[in-house]
Amino acid sequence: MDMNGTLTRRAMIRAGMMAGAVLPLAGMVVGRATAAATVPDLSPADPAANAMGYVLKTAKPGETCANCAQFAGKTGAATGRCELFPDNRVAAAGWCSSYVKKKAGT
């Protein structure tokens, strides 16, 4: 804007360049939040899950996905991420043949 309050061509170009730089960054932030919210639950029928003997509820006392070293979910959550199945969430009460007990304090 100039001293009289009118919008100049230079100000319009500057504003357009700033918007062009900021909008892609905003899109990446929103895209990541949306992607995290749409991660599907792992089905025992999934070929990879089936090959590892994944079940939604374990019959093995003390061995659940929630206390496995590969589980990255929050304590007390019903589901969480697993390093073995990065595109899905696993049941905290679940189990698979790659179970490794989480070390104390982690």
93 burial type by CB count under 10 A (0-12 exposed, 13-18 middle, 19+ buried): middle
Q: Domain 40-106 falls in which CATH fold?
A: High-Potential Iron-Sulfur Protein; Chain A (4.10.490)
**Position 12 pLDDT exceeds 60:** yes
Q: What is the pTM of this model?
A: 0.63
List, for residues 41-82, the tens digit of each pLDDT value. 999 999 999 999 999 999 999 999 999 999 998 889 999 999
CA trace torsion 73, 43, 49, 72 (10° rounding):
0
Model confidence over 16-51: pLDDT tens digits?
787 777 777 666 665 555 455 689 999 999 999 999
Q: Which pLDDT score, from 0 to 100, does residue 54 have?
A: 97
**What is the pLDDT confidence band of residue 10, given thresholds at 50, 70 and 90?**
confident
CA 76 to CA 95: how far, in whole Å? Answer: 16
DSSP H stretches of helix in the chain: 9-37, 47-51
The domain segmentation of the chain, as residue ranges, is 1-38, 40-106
Asked if pLDDT for residue 5 goes beyond 60, the answer is yes
